[in-house]
Amino acid sequence: MDFPESPMLVAWRDAVFLSQTALGQWRRDSFLGRWIGLLGSWESGSFLISHGDAVGALMVALIFAGAPFIGTGPIGIGLAATAGFWLLLSIADGQDHKFGQSNIPVQLKSLFTPIHLPLLLYGAIAVVATGLSPVPRAALSGLIKLALYLVFFALMARVLRSPKWRSIVITVCLYVALIVASYGIHQYFHGVPALATWVDAESALAKTTRVYSSLGNPNLLAGYLVPAVPLAIAALFNWQRWGAKALAAVMVILNSACLVLTYSRGGWIGLVVALGAITVCLVAWWSVRFSAFWRRWALPLLLGGGVALLAGAVLFVGPIRTRVVSIFAGRGDSSNNFRINVWAPLPGPMPIQGRSRIISSTAAQTLIRKLLLLSPRPAKILTTRVR
């Protein structure tokens, strides 16, 4: 169901993002903006460019399909290929587009979304952090990786405008997530050796199996499954056939169960937030069919029931209570202690350099050693991994 945009929403978007006038001025005056459409004459005669959205959607689907099963090297090659293809599409956009207000090409306006500006700001902060980093080479490596992901988002923002390709890519993601979650459930029932010290040996959960599926890390698996749960819930309502709806229900159950079995505190928080957000969206979607009473009380009752269910799980389910309480244990939890020891020695006057996260794990260890030498109170770094 399409909801009309309110004048307040339009005004807020124009204020926070780029207004039509500002976007058109950037297109005319920016050096980068002038590159858009530079090879426009090539678009009509090139099969690759004329079917650019289909090729781009295929590349995006392949990245999502292979990411849980291949190493970072092949993923980096794939991201570099998508970045090159996005650049080719951008400079091959035809210049004979229809124009809207402020003399802005319609296709150019559709390439930008309200989330582009915060991401560009994040990238700019990363550039500054890289320039001020005590380990510039490693920081530059991290910045390149970040840039590849940002360009990958730009390609997705372009090709997923089409409902057809968006549906195909989301379906691919859901099927791959189902395979990953099924393997994680298999690990829980049949046992799996821990690839690292993911569980504190002194914790009550020392013998607990934390599944990691094909990703090798329970925290990574939890982060991977967080968006899969609300997408599967949306598929449950959107897919028309009963067989497809049953499959979507299985996806919701397996994805949620596997995420819980990772025992990742951050993953659990993400799951709660995701379920809350999808609940609000679904209630807003169905509210036009509600009576006046349910239109008013459906959302408060659902959110209140969810909070009560969450509180009950924390109070009466031992493993969940242990993990939740450990968040507030301070140095009493080894994972918290590791993080505190990492950040405690940082000198106060260097908030950007010290807290720049645009570094690899090896560079982080190098930076920690340097900061410990500079700190008047060197802290003891635990050898256990972050849990």
The Cα 363–Cα 134 span in angstroms is: 10
Q: Report, as an integer, the average pLDDT of 256-274.
A: 89
pLDDT score of 201: 63
Which band of pLDDT confidence, cut at 50, 70 and 90, is reported for residue 376? very low
Q: Region 112-130: what's the mean pLDDT? A: 85
- Specify the amino acid at residue 375: S
Indicate the helix (H) or strand (E) that contains 255: helix 242-261
192-196, 207-211, 279-283, range with greatest mean pLDDT: 279-283
Q: Residue 384 has what pLDDT?
A: 39
Task: Please give the Cα distance from 371 to 365 (Å, whole number).
Answer: 10
Distance CA 185, CA 167 (A): 27
Share of the chain above pLDDT 70, in %: 65
Beta-ladder partners of 105: 99
Report how far residue 160's alpha carbon sits from residue 206's, in angstroms, rounded to the nearest whole number.
Answer: 44
What pLDDT sits at residue 369?
Answer: 45
User: How far apart are the C-alpha atoms of 77 and 340, rounded to whole Å?
Assistant: 35
DSSP letter assigned to residue 207: T
Of 21, 88, 1, 20, the C-alpha closest to 50 is 88
Mean pLDDT for the stretch of residues 92-119: 56
Amino acid at 122: Y
Asked if the model's pLDDT at residue 15 lies above 60, the reply is no
Query: Confidence class of residue 185 from pLDDT cuts 50, 70 and 90?
Result: very high
Answer with the residue of higher pLDDT: 32 or 154: 154
Per-residue pLDDT band for 192 (boundaries 50, 70, 90) equals confident
Give phi and psi for 261, each to the nearest 5.
Answer: -75, -10
Measure CA of the first residue to CA of the last residue in the chain; give whole Å: 42
Instruction: Name the residue with higher pLDDT: 37 or 240.
Output: 240
Structure confidence at residue 227 (pLDDT): 93
Q: What is the pLDDT of residue 276?
A: 87
Please give the Cα distance from 174 to 227 (Å, whole number).
Answer: 10
pLDDT at 292: 82
For the chain, the average pLDDT equals 75
Comparing 76-90, 284-298, 344-358, the range with the smallest average pLDDT is 344-358
Which residues are CB-contacts of 307 (< 8 A; sequence separation ≥ 6)?
none
Rounded to whole angstroms, what are the CA distances from 96 to 26, 87, 174, 380?
A: 18, 19, 38, 64
* Burial of 3 (C-beta count, 10 Å sphere; 0-12/13-18/19+): exposed
Q: pLDDT-based confidence at 347, cuts 50/70/90?
A: low
